Amino acid sequence: MKKRLTRSTTDRFVAGVCGGLAEYFGVDSTWIRLAFIVLIPYSFFMPIVVYIACYLLIPEKRNIQRASFRHNVNNPFHRLHSHARSTNSEKKK
């Protein structure tokens, strides 16, 4: 599965940009936040513009799970199918 740059939905203070960058690069989000704060006065407030651009361009992380109908026990069709199989096997006895 490919790694995608997304904004974090769990590790966020404002918009999840720093949390998403930290997840992507595999570092603690505190280091990313400190880098943004330290760079603000030395780079003419450019990190604020970069943060806003990242907020607008990076999509938010969606927690979509792929379900398999064959092995998903919580699926109502699976329960009906397994119930029908068990009643058919009982009738054959």
pLDDT band at 2 (very low <50, low <70, confident <90, very high): confident
Q: Is position 91 within any domain?
A: no
Residue found under tokens 């400190």: 34
Q: Is position 71 within any domain?
A: no
> How many CB atoms are located within 10 Å of the residue 55 CB?
15
pTM of the model: 0.61
Per the structure, the count of domains in the chain is 1
pLDDT of residue 61: 83
CA distance 83 to 93: 16
Q: Is position 88 within any domain?
A: no
Residues 16-71 have pLDDT tens digits of 899 999 999 999 999 999 999 999 889 988 999 999 999 999 998 876 555 554 55
- Report helix, strand or coil for 6: coil
DSSP for 18-76, written as a single string: HHHHHHHHTS-HHHHHHHHHHHHHHTTTHHHHHHHHHHHHSPBP--PPP--TTT-TT-H
Q: Is position 68 within any domain?
A: no
